[in-house]
């Protein structure tokens, strides 16, 4: 995963343009995503697909023709969606087009101006205060014209039409946790899913944030509302710090229940955010009338770490170990969605486990832990609780129930209940 | 308000009689209340309207014919509803008719005997222990005979038949917080309501406590049960100490929700009493089968401050500032009732606020607080939450939502939902 | 009760056999239980009634023919359901059949082997480590053959077919709290119930644990599911230490509500266990599909005191005072079940208590506590709350409400509501 992330890192992405296409084509080397183009001007809910933005080069020259700021060194240097410019300006005029962070003087900030024509450069605050009076030549060789918005989609059919939805975004330039960790982990999860038998159908999309999710919803909402049982917005999943959770607006969907159960048993110290702390595409997926069951399981959440939206969110901040942890927690969630079910005990009273080799033959002072887990599971296998609920009630990690379910199914002591 | 309170202070009120009439006539100088008389002997639920009590004078003379206790100095000196008496008694016999408070030796207590024939005097404990052996002439020039119970009513029609109910009592003699603060603040609220366009109809009554609310309910219950959406028992609303809240028996009516929302954001340290702490007319309004949505928003609650039901609950204890605070909090509640509604976002997904001037054009690290409030409001404007609920969820004072609602209505981004 | 317990103590009980019959016959001297025999091999849910086990004698002789372990001294010395044996074994072989507790070196443990053929002796750990190398003669004069499982049943009819269920077990040899306190307290409760008028029918059973409750349910489940309103598993109710509570699986049945209300007001420090801490016949009574409203009100819970399942759970651990406390708390629960009801106030608003002698005639600063209780009761006597709920809400012990209900019924101020 770290290698793929490193490959994708230098590409200059925005909400439209060739950076998105290059990113999707790189991912297509691993999983067979379909790439869809939606023309500029297409009406999508309350929005319109904007003009496509591409950039070839950008720099600032000082009076000695030295490149003091160079897009080719770091694509964060240019405000995303900057219109073309090529002129000489005084330092005073230049200042109006510069962005820096006083409190993080070594970081280049990430700034966008999608919906108002503007141009600008982002630099470190240390560089900014070292700029001398004089004239500067500013060049942005960009293009903003009719084109299309590009996104990727992968449908992995399962035995059921019921869908698990996964969304991640590919619209930020060179940033690692709040951008590339999402597509990279999603790609690996898709590879794993493709290699396994699946109960659910999986709908996996790679989109530009906000305008992309709105565009996607405007084309797929009816089908998704009818079929989606759980969904994940995959973002900020590659650093080694926190595990964190952002609920759906509803707060009690299957996606919420799955993620909270897994996090509680696996990383009990995880940070539980409120939906008020949202900031990514759950803003669209959970909006009134859309109401999809989408949550975010993250490591350090966007906005909650100092490196966020700066050049410090880089290949050092995200690590192979961090990506592995993020991948594993999401895979655990998907595995639970595949294995979850409602079971009903087939006999009244407790079954006689002893003659099935599931109970110790000698009655002693301290019964064994595994026997307790089987009996506790059976006590709540009443045809109404699913595995998640039983795990929560009996305080046993759900993955320890998978084996118990198999043993009890084999012994005919439980049956799976079909939900009408 | 303080002037009106000062004017009303000297009047000797009881549950019937001319003191009530004089009080109502004073209030009628400000608002056009109708004054209703209900004859003695009228059956009202389980009770009967008692005989009317009036008093002209009362005093105790010592052996030197000195007036040692004089009703004209403080009308608390006479037990309310005392029968006439004019005789000379020994100190021992007199003691059986004296009331004082050992733990508050400078306070005259307030004592009533409405439903058993009795006479008595209330004095300070300091005076009581200074009384010398000897004979005393006791005179109470009162009258207890068939007459009527008097109350005032003001109906302010609104565009809807749905009613807000407000009740306050006018049956205590010279006490300021636990009596006059209620009618005075109610009078000012009625003046304000009369001057504004109203969605709701307002039913505002001035009654003697207990027997008055029972009498009023017995004549108006069916209409009130059908139309009342929220009600307030206005009492103890003029001192400068606490803000406090006493819920309805139900605890979750619109009145409870409104009062708790306003208090939480405006005076977060308010005291939240239980319905078990009740002691005023909510005893009737919330009784089984009556079940009106009536709460009390108070400052220092009856029974919870040492001056309560003594001569110390006077014009010093209640202040202009205290009355102003009480008036404001209740007006905030009424304003919320007028403005509350259920709104539904008109577009799927978030609207594009930017092209409507509601969103900053540059995407930066820290979005603005006002944008967050608009987006949070929209996220919960789902056609089921009312303004109170949204305010509680998104933790924004409801009065900050009024402007947001207006902007979003003007932009066509929400519509008000008619409740079927 | 302590005398009966002392009489029953020496009998060697197991899940079948003459010890059970002798125990039931002793109890029959006090209450007219019917004794039922269920033949070996009868299918009961997932189980089968096992062969009947009886034992006449058992001992271990050392090389000097000294009885170093003697069943007649303490019947815990033999593993319950041991098959017959009479042979001479080396110490090494003997060790494989010995059970002791290293951490309680003076206690004989209680061990069973109901469903696997086995023989064994239980001794103190101190004795075990003192055993010398050599040969030992082991004799168990027992018999395991077709017979029957024995239990006792007492039905006390009431004016309603609705039943209160009580179950206790009679399958442990000489142990006092975790065995005999249950049958003894149950016997006394049955005597008390038999002497009183009863609204409910009482179903009281004395059974061997697990196989007995399964057997009983397999023969009576339909009737019990239809009629049982509350039930108690009576066990561990005779020591002087804790009071404790184990809920039904449902957790909110009438039995739970009754027991929690009584315990909260009577022994507020009681231990509130989870259903996960279960270990007795509620395992069957609350299993999916059975779902009877059965709880346990206990003193020191099985498994939660060191003497449990050893020879230290003896006539010193259980005391007359401990039994009396256990009896009283259960009788309080049954009394509440008999007296519980839903009442509705008959007049709107508060009634005029004064003319009925229920209210003080003088209005003063501090109303009396008893008046508050009457008014609080009336405020919640709304035709939906039962006595338990009102007691919980108004924070008055339910037994103080019994007298209030009688007074108010007599005054015609409430009526009992028939539940449709």
pTM (2 d.p.): 0.93
The first and second tokens of residue C199, run together, are 């609204």
Question: Rounded to the nearest 10 degrees, how much is the dihedral formed by the CA atoms of C202, C208, C214, C218?
Answer: -60
Taking an 8 Å cut-off on Cβ atoms, the answer to whether C115 and A355 are in contact is: yes
* Percentage above 70 pLDDT, chain A: 98
Query: By mean pLDDT, which of A85-94, C18-27, C353-362 is the weakest?
Result: C353-362
pLDDT at C366: 54
Tens digits of residue pLDDT in C70-83: 999 999 999 999 99
Contacts of residue C289 in chain A, CB cutoff 8 Å? 345, 348, 382
Contacts of residue A284 in chain B, CB cutoff 8 Å? 349-350
Place B132 in a pLDDT band, splitting at 50, 70 and 90. Answer: very high
Question: What is the mean pLDDT of the segment spanning A204-226?
Answer: 98
More confident site: B359 or C97: C97
* Among chain B residues, CA nearest to C393: B276
The first and second tokens of residue C14, run together, are 């197991």
Output the DSSP codes for B134-193: SEEEEEEEEEEES-EEEEEEEEE--SSS-EEEEEEE---SS-IIIIIHHHHHHHHHHHHH
Touching partners of B (3+ C-beta pairs < 8 Å):
A, C
- Residue B220 at interface with chain C, using a CB cutoff of 8 Å: no
- Of A402, A357, A313, nearest in space to A5 by CA: A313
Tell me: pLDDT of B366 over 70. Answer: no
Question: Rounded to the nearest 10 degrees, how much is the dihedral formed by the CA atoms of B58, B62, B65, B69?
Answer: -30
Tens digits of residue pLDDT in B269-278: 999 999 999 9
pLDDT at B292: 98
Compare CB distances from A284 to B350, B383, B393 and report the shortest one's residue.
B350
- State the Cα–Cα distance between residues A293 and A102, nearest whole angstrom: 39
Tens digits of residue pLDDT in A231-244: 999 999 999 998 99
Cβ distance C260 to C389 under 8 Å? Answer: no
- State the Cα–Cα distance between residues B183 and B170, nearest whole angstrom: 7
The first and second tokens of residue A137, run together, are 């030549």
Question: What is the mean pLDDT of the segment spanning A188-196?
Answer: 97
3-state SS assignment for residue A177: helix
Strands A67-70 and A271-272 come out as: unpaired
Compare CB distances from B361 to A113, A218, A276 and report the shortest one's residue.
A113
Q: What's phi and psi for B166, nearest 5 deg?
A: -135, 130
Burial of B90 (0-12, 13-18, 19+ CB in 10 A): exposed
- Residue C412 at interface with chain B, using a CB cutoff of 8 Å: no
Tell me: pLDDT of C68 over 70. Answer: yes
Helices (H) and strands (E) in chain A, counts: 12, 19
Compare CB distances from A363 to C46, C112, C217 and report the shortest one's residue.
C112
Taking an 8 Å cut-off on Cβ atoms, the answer to whether C283 and A350 are in contact is: yes
Mean pLDDT of the residues in chain A: 95
3-state SS assignment for residue A404: helix
pLDDT at A369: 82
The continuous run of DSSP H or E covering B218 comes out as helix B211-227
B280-306 residues labelled b (16+ CB within 10 A) or e (exposed)? bbbbbbbbbebbbbbbbbbbbbbebbe
**Quick one: CA dihedral C367, C373, C375, C376, positive or negative?**
positive
Residues in chain A: 420
pLDDT at A116: 86
3-state SS assignment for residue B60: strand
Q: What's phi and psi for A64, nearest 5 deg?
A: -95, 15
Tell me: pLDDT of B420 over 70. Answer: no
Strands B294-298 and C163-169 come out as: unpaired
Tens digits of residue pLDDT in B51-71: 999 999 999 999 999 999 999
pLDDT at B369: 83
Contacts of C125 (CB under 8 A, 6+ apart): C100, C101, C102, C104, C105, C106, C107
End-to-end CA distance of chain A: 41
Contacts of residue A275 in chain B, CB cutoff 8 Å? 379
Q: What's phi and psi for C354, nearest 5 deg?
A: -55, -50
**DSSP bridge pairs for A231:** A165, A294
- Residue B290 at interface with chain C, using a CB cutoff of 8 Å: yes
Residue with tokens 């405007």: A218
- State the Cα–Cα distance between residues A112 and A13, nearest whole angstrom: 12
Question: What is the mean pLDDT of the segment spanning A184-213?
Answer: 97
Contacts of residue A379 in chain C, CB cutoff 8 Å? 249, 275, 278, 283, 286-288
- Of B303, B315, B260, nearest in space to B278 by CA: B303
Residue with tokens 């509500």: C257
pLDDT at A104: 96
Give CA separation, A148 vs A19, A157, A266, B335, C245, in Å: 13, 28, 42, 49, 67
Q: What's phi and psi for C220, nearest 5 deg?
A: -135, 5
Ranges of H-type helices in B9-90? 18-27
Tell me: pLDDT of A419 over 70. Answer: no
Tell me: pLDDT of A364 over 60. Answer: no
Mean pLDDT of the residues in chain B: 95
pLDDT at C363: 59
Residue with tokens 């007074």: C407
pLDDT at C115: 86
Query: Taking the mean position of all CA atoms in its chain, how far away is CA A257?
Result: 18
Taking an 8 Å cut-off on Cβ atoms, the answer to whether C350 and B46 are in contact is: yes
Give CA separation, C324 vs A274, C2, C188, C315, in Å: 53, 9, 10, 15
Tell me: pLDDT of B213 over 60. Answer: yes
Contacts of C51 (CB under 8 A, 6+ apart): C16, C40, C144, C145, C146, C147
Residues 347-406 of A with CB under 8 A from C: 347-352, 354-355, 361-365, 375-376, 378-383, 393-395
Cβ distance B340 to B258 under 8 Å? Answer: yes
- Residue B158 at interface with chain A, using a CB cutoff of 8 Å: no
Question: What is the mean pLDDT of the segment spanning C102-107?
Answer: 96
Tens digits of residue pLDDT in B309-337: 999 999 999 999 999 999 999 999 999 99
Question: What is the mean pLDDT of the segment spanning A40-49?
Answer: 97
The neighbour count for residue C208, using CB atoms within 10 Å, is 26
Tens digits of residue pLDDT in C348-403: 999 999 888 887 666 555 558 888 999 999 999 999 999 999 999 999 999 999 99
- Of B295, B225, B301, B312, nearest in space to B256 by CA: B295
Question: What is the mean pLDDT of the segment spanning A342-351?
Answer: 96
Cβ distance C235 to C207 under 8 Å? Answer: no
Taking an 8 Å cut-off on Cβ atoms, the answer to whether A276 and B376 are in contact is: yes
3-state SS assignment for residue B97: coil
Tens digits of residue pLDDT in A109-157: 999 998 888 999 999 999 999 999 999 999 999 999 999 999 999 999 9
Taking an 8 Å cut-off on Cβ atoms, the answer to whether A45 and B349 are in contact is: yes
ipTM over 0.90: yes
Contacts of residue B214 in chain C, CB cutoff 8 Å? 349-350
Residues 244-263 of C with CB under 8 A from B: none
Tell me: pLDDT of A363 over 80. Answer: no
Contacts of residue B46 in chain C, CB cutoff 8 Å? 347-352
SS (H, E, C) chain C: CHHHHHHHCCCCCCCCCHHHHHHHHHHCCCCCCEEEEEECCCEECCEECCCEEEEEEEEEECCCCCEEEECCCCHHHECECCCCEEEEEEHHHHHCCEECCCCCCCCCECCECCCCCCCCEECCHHHHHHCCCCEEEEEEEEEEECCEEEEEEEEECCCCCCEEEEEEECCCCCCHHHHHHHHHHHHHHHHHHHCCCCCCEEEEEEECCCHHHHHHHHHHHHHHHHHEEEEEECCCCCCCCCCEEECCCCCCCHHHHHHHHHHHHHCCCCEECCHHHCCCCHHHHCCCCCCCCEEEEECCCCCCCCCCCECCCCCCCCCHHHHHHHHHHHHHHHHHHHHCCEEEECCCCCCCCHHHCCCCCCECCCCCHHHHHHHHHHHHCEEEEEHHHHHHHHCCCHHHHHHHHHHHHHCCCEEECCCC
Tens digits of residue pLDDT in C32-50: 999 999 999 999 999 999 9
- State the Cα–Cα distance between residues A149 and A214, nearest whole angstrom: 12
- State the Cα–Cα distance between residues C342 and C390, nearest whole angstrom: 10
- ∠ CA A224-A228-A229, nearest 5°, is 165
Tell me: pLDDT of B364 over 70. Answer: no
Per the rule left: phi > 0, alpha: psi between -120 and 50, beta: everything else, A199 is alpha
Tell me: pLDDT of C228 over 80. Answer: yes
Query: What long-range pairs does B106-110 form, CB within 8 A, spacing at least 24?
Result: B106/B312, B107/B307, B107/B310, B107/B311, B107/B312, B108/B74, B108/B76, B108/B77, B108/B310, B108/B311, B109/B76, B109/B309, B109/B310, B109/C364, B109/C365, B110/B76, B110/B80, B110/B172, B110/B173, B110/B175, B110/B309, B110/B310, B110/B311, B110/C365
Residue with tokens 């109710």: C237
- State the Cα–Cα distance between residues B99 and B82, nearest whole angstrom: 13
Question: What is the mean pLDDT of the segment spanning B13-33?
Answer: 97
Tell me: pLDDT of B157 over 60. Answer: yes
Query: Taking the mean position of all CA atoms in its chain, how far away is CA B213?
Result: 12
């Amino acid at each position: 995963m770290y290698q793929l992330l490193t490959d994708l890192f230098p590409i200059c992405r925005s909400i439209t343009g060739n950076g998105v296409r290059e990113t999707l084509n790189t991912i297509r080397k691993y999983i067979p995503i379909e790439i869809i183009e939606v023309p500029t001007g297409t009406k999508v809910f309350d929005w319109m697909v904007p003009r496509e933005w591409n950039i070839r080069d950008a720099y600032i020259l000082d009076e000695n023709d030295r490149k003091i700021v160079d897009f080719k060194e770091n694509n964060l240097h240019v405000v995303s969606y900057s219109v073309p410019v090529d002129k000489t300006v005084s330092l005073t005029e230049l200042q109006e087009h510069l962005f820096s962070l006083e409190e993080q003087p070594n970081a280049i900030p990430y700034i966008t101006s999608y919906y108002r024509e503007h141009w600008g450069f982002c630099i470190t605050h240390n560089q900014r205060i070292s700029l001398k009076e004089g004239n500067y030549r500013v060049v942005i060789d960009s293009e903003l014209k009719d084109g299309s918005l590009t996104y990727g989609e992968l449908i992995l059919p399962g035995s059921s039409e019921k869908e698990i939805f996964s969304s991640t975004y590919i619209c930020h330039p060179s940033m690692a946790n709040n951008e590339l960790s999402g597509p990279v982990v999603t790609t690996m999860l898709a590879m794993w899913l493709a290699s396994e038998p699946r109960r659910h159908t999986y709908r996996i999309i790679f989109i530009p944030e906000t305008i992309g999710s709105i565009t996607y919803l405007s084309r797929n909402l009816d089908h998704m509302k009818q079929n989606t049982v759980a969904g994940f917005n995959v973002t900020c999943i590659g650093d080694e710090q926190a595990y964190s959770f952002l609920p759906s607006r509803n707060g009690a969907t299957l996606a919420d229940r799955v993620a909270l159960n897994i996090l509680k048993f696996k990383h009990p110290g995880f940070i539980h955010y409120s939906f008020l702390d949202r900031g990514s595409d759950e803003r669209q997926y959970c909006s009134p009338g859309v109401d999809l069951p989408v949550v975010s399981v993250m490591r350090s959440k966007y906005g909650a770490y100092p490196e966020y939206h700066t050049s410090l969110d880089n290949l050092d901040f995200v690590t192979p170990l961090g990506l592995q942890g993020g991948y594993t927690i999401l895979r655990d969630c998907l595995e639970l969605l595949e294995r979850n079910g409602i079971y009903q005990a087939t006999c009244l009273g407790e079954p006689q486990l002893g003659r099935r080799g599931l109970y110790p033959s000698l009655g002693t002072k301290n019964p064994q832990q595994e026997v307790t887990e089987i009996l506790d599971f059976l006590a709540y296998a009443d045809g109404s609780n699913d595995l998640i609920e039983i795990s929560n009630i009996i305080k046993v990690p759900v993955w320890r129930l998978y084996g118990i379910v198999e043993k009890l199914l084999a012994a005919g002591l439980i049956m799976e209940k079909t939900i009408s």
